Amino acid sequence: MLSPWGKGSFTLVQSRDRLLVVGSVALDTIETPAGKREDVPGGSALHCSLAASLYVPVHLVGVIGEDFPQEPLRLLERRGVNLKGLQRVPGKTFRWSGRYHQDWIGRDTLDTQLNVFADFKPAIPDKSRDCEVLFLANIQPQLQLDVLDAMKRPRLVALDTMNYWIKGDLPLLKKVLRRTHLLIINDEEARQLSGMYSLLKAARGIMAMGPKVVILKKGEHGSIVFAKDYMQLVPAYLLEDIEDPTGAGDTFAGGVMAVLTAHRGLSDAILRKAVIHGTIMASFGVEGFGPERLNSLTIEEVEARKRQYLTQSCPTGILPVADYGIEAHRTIVSPPNDGNAGDRGMLEASRWHDDHMEIVDQSQLPGNVAIVRMETLEDVVDAIRTLKIRGAPAIGIAAGYGVVVGVRNLIRDGQLGGDAIEEVLHRLGASRPTAVNLFWALERMRKVVSKVGFRDGSALIAALLQEAVAIHQEDKELCRKISDHGAGILPEGGILTHCHAGALATGGIGTAVGVIRTAHQMGKPIHVYADETRPLLQGARLTAWELQQSGIPITLICDNMAASLMASGKIQSVIVGADRIASNGDTANKIGTYSVAVLAKYHSLPFFVAAPYSTIDPTLKSGAEIPIEQRDPDEVRGFRDQRWAPENVPVWNAAFDVTPASLITAIITETGVSRFPYHFGS
């Protein structure tokens, strides 16, 4: 089983501590010796967030006007940046225009229009107030103080400022400095702030104002790190060609903050790592106008340049090259060396790690693989409701771990009791009404509470966690059994599947996709056709990605192409998963499954359902009794930030439909293969 917490060569982001960035988001007009660009997305918060989000989870707080384009925001979201604190208000976005001299150092500011930024009042969302690390980018000191007052005691506060605030708002700036651990500033600003020309004296003078660490930026000459009894000069990464240095300082800060977010403490070694990483990020930032280069930047490119820099530059006192990654808090994934090619490309949807629950945020796939820590019951409920975790078996597993999270919070808050625990179970049960595995798992957890009681909180948590892990492990095993049973009856040739029933939807190798994996491992010549699966595109985003990562032949099609493919003879069978199966075999699955089953019947193709036996609800006589979830109409009106339907046009958005048992050739569970007519639970 390929786990995102294993080791290997493919790097992903692991969410542990989070970075909150508060600053400006702008539209710049930039003229350099390399050319001119207008309306380039920029600002301190944007550059910093883009640089940091390649490695750590970022929350951004800022303000934009009605004229700010959507594409930069979509890029930030694909990187996993939380934009709930980014306000879009009537008016124009903050705009800056400047021209750089031929030496690339001097520049003239041609125009500054604060626009909506003039009245900016940072509004920190509740989930951002407890971010562990805070970077106060270049904004008014009073606003920086307001942000500090709104936070719940971050472990690290870093600050950027500029000569405008040093000259015009020094008393307030000094109040901010007293509450700051680290200041990033250029050499001229350091002299202005301290009143001392010697950079060593200037840094010491600034540290006397509050910060434990001062990082002085010196442009093409690199940077200097000052801390108590420690100083380190870090040279710049030399480039042959530069396009735009406008965001270099903020990109440098984003790189620094990524390391300081991923590693706790301000030791000499961590500070060296941070500044070297910031140096490398800044070197990429200047290779394009605005954030152009950062948009396409990959972790592999960053690490390759870092290795080259450390080999060639050799700054005094650095650690070995291998010590300069952000390894401790970055997920590294590679195929296992067990010869089991069928397990390649698999991620576990959720797991319990050390003392907390972690999930893969499926809403960000395939553009970003983000592993998110579930701190509260509301985190788990929201993850299930918003499809960050989805698929009936995976939802059941998440619910088990969610009970542990919820009950542990009750103990922490001194609210443990029968009614409070029942409320935890109720809130999880209300998150998705159709997936029967959710209620099956919750009932198992309820029985544990009844057996152990709640007088001894530690004993209850231990018992609940043991049961949640058991649910997870059992699902791994039954996925294997389902896959073994199904692979034997799956015909060779083209296979159509709808939605996603792979590893991310279960606790193991998947149900329908697990059958496909096993058939492929057996050497059957197969080719998968995956419906994109409107409206949330689980087939396009998840099935296609998972099978492609696994090396299984896959072609993506629009939902309305299935009939044509069947008529052309390219499809030999259909296999899907299930969210709930009635005792007569009627099956609820993702909306669109029913129409695929009708098409398969017309074309005389076998239609298989693969699901764990726990998906069968023997209390329901037929599919007419299965509750069907109605979801947000905006899921049909568009996708993410893109809208293609008239605003407020009426929408019918059922999440599931019911396929009559008579259209299903066989239902494959861990117990074996059942064929029509079905009599489950009798």
- Asked whether residue 432 is domain-assigned, the answer is yes
Estimate to the nearest angstrom the gap between the alpha carbon of 262 and the chain centroid.
15
pLDDT the model gives residue 619: 93
Contact of 450 with 393, CB cutoff 8 Å: no
Same domain for 503 and 463, yes or no, is no
Between CA 68 and CA 70 the distance in angstroms is 7
Higher pLDDT, 1 or 671: 671
pLDDT at 437: 85
CATH number for the domain harbouring residue 182: 3.40.1190.20
Does 469 lie in the same domain as 482?
no
pLDDT tens per residue across span 448-465? 999 999 889 999 999 999
Q: Where does a domain end: 300, 329, 358?
A: 329
Give the pLDDT of residue 299: 86
Based on the domain organization, do 381 and 501 belong to the same domain?
no
Would you say residue 320 has pLDDT above 50?
no
Q: Using one digit for the tens of pLDDT, what is the confidence trace for 147-176? A: 999 998 899 999 998 878 888 889 999 999
**Which of residues 306, 329, 352 is at a domain's end?**
329
Looking at the domain assignment, is residue 660 inside a domain?
yes
Secondary structure (DSSP) of 561-629: GHHHHHHHT---EEEE--SEEETTS-EEEETTHHHHHHHHHHTT--EEEE--GGGEETT-SSGGGS---
Task: Please indicate, yes or no, whether residues 318 and 276 belong to a single structural domain of this protein.
Answer: yes
- CA torsion 242-248-252-254 (nearest 10°) is -120
Model pLDDT, residue 346:
63
Range name among 12-16, 397-401, 422-426, 456-460 with the lowest pLDDT average:
12-16
Q: Using 50, 70 and 90 to split pLDDT, how confident is the model at 279?
A: very high
Distance CA(554)–CA(629), nearest Å, equals 30
d(CA 506, CA 396): 9
Q: Predicted confidence band at 321 (pLDDT cuts at 50, 70, 90)?
A: very low
pLDDT for position 475: 92
In this prediction, residue 75 carries a pLDDT of 87
The answer to whether residue 1 scores a pLDDT higher than 70 is no
* pLDDT value of residue 682: 60
The reply to whether 571 and 465 lie within a common domain is: no
Phi and psi for 623 in degrees, rounded to 5? -65, -20
Whether residue 12 has pLDDT greater than 50: no
At 3 the pLDDT is 28
Residue 300 predicted with pLDDT over 50: yes
Tens digits of per-residue pLDDT, 20-71?
999 999 999 999 999 999 999 999 999 999 999 988 899 999 999 999 999 9
pLDDT of residue 345: 45
Beta strands 672-675; 580-582: pairing state = unpaired
Distance CA 161, CA 511 (A): 54
Amino acid at site 104: W
- For tokens 């159709």, what's the residue? 434
Asked if 94 and 25 touch (Cβ cutoff 8 Å), the reply is yes
Q: What residues make up the domain containing 664?
A: 477-675
Q: Is the pLDDT of residue 201 over 60?
A: yes
- Percent of the chain past pLDDT 70, that is, above it, reads 92
Q: Is 69 left (phi over 0), alpha (psi -120 to 50) or beta?
A: beta
Which of 131-135, 182-186, 313-317, 606-610 comes out lowest in average pLDDT?
Answer: 313-317
Average model confidence (pLDDT) for the chain?
88
Tokens found for residue 61? 């707080």
Confidence of residue 415 (pLDDT cuts 50, 70, 90): very high
What is the SS3 assignment for 422-444?
HHHHHHHHCCCCCCHHHHHHHHH
Same domain, 429 and 519: no
Say if residue 677 is preceded by a cis peptide, omega within 30 of 0: yes
CATH number for the domain harbouring residue 588: 3.40.50.10470
Q: Is the pLDDT of residue 340 over 50?
A: no
Residue 395 has pLDDT above 60, yes or no: yes
Q: Is residue 5 part of a domain?
A: no
On whether both 304 and 350 belong to a single domain, the answer is: no
3 state SS of 281: helix
**406-416 average pLDDT score:** 93
Same domain, 173 and 131: yes
One domain for residues 361 and 266: no
- Supply the residues annotated as catalytic: 579
Tell whether 313 and 181 lie within a shared domain: yes
Same domain, 267 and 348: no
| Distance between CA atoms of residues 314 and 320, nearest Å | 10
Element (H or E) spanning 515, and its range? helix 512-521
When pLDDT is averaged across residues 319-333 and rounded to a whole number, the result is 36
**Neighbour-count burial of 155, counting CB atoms closer than 10 A to its CB (0-12 exposed, 13-18 middle, 19+ buried):** middle
Strand order in the sheet with 370-374: 330-333, 10-14, 370-374, 356-360, 350-353
* pLDDT value of position 313: 57
Into how many domains does the chain fold? 3
Instruction: Compute, in degrees rounded to 10, the torsion defined by CA atoms 605, 499, 393, 511.
Output: 40
Give the mean model confidence (pLDDT) for residues 583-602: 97
pLDDT of residue 211: 94
Q: Which residues, in sequence order, are bridge partners of residue 519?
A: none
- The per-residue pLDDT for 16 is 63
Give every CB contact of residue 15 below 8 A, 6+ residues apart in sequence.
56, 57, 358, 370, 371, 372, 373
What per-residue string of b and e applies to 578-593 under the rule 16 or more CB within 10 Å gives b?
A: bbbbbbbbbbbbbbbb
When mean pLDDT is compared across 100-104, 308-312, 386-390, the lowest value belongs to 308-312
**Residues 294-303, mean pLDDT to the nearest whole number:** 87
In a domain, 644, yes or no: yes
Alpha-carbon distances, residue 449 vs 272, 277, 400, 421, 429 (angstroms): 50, 49, 12, 8, 16
Q: What CATH number is associated with residue 379?
A: 1.20.120.420
Within-domain flag for 336? no
CA distance 218 to 234: 10
Q: 577 pLDDT band (50/70/90 cuts)?
A: very high
d(CA 655, CA 366): 21
| E strand or H helix at 659 | strand 656-659
> Tokens for 625?
């009794």
Output 49 or 366, whichever has higher pLDDT. 49
What is the residue-wise DSSP string for 396-411?
A: HHHHHHHHHHHHHHHH
pLDDT exceeds cutoff 80 at 80: yes
Residue 336 has pLDDT above 80, yes or no: no
For residues 304-329, average pLDDT: 54
* Beta strands in 161-246, from DSSP E residues, in sequence order: 182-186, 213-217, 223-227, 230-234
Of the residues 459, 475, 491, which one is the last residue of a structural domain?
475
Which of 257-266, 422-431, 662-671 comes out lowest in average pLDDT?
257-266
Give phi and psi for 575, each to the nearest 5.
Answer: -140, 135
Could you tell me if residue 681 is inside a domain?
Answer: no
Contact by Cβ (8 Å): 583, 679? yes
Does residue 338 have a pLDDT over 50? no
What average pLDDT score do residues 394-411 get?
95
Residues 230 and 323 both lie in one domain: yes
Residue 10 placed within a domain:
no
Average pLDDT (499-525) is 94
> Is the pLDDT higher at 238 or at 408?
408
For residue 482, pLDDT beyond 50 = yes
Is residue 312 pLDDT above 70, yes or no?
A: no
Residue 281 lies in a domain: yes
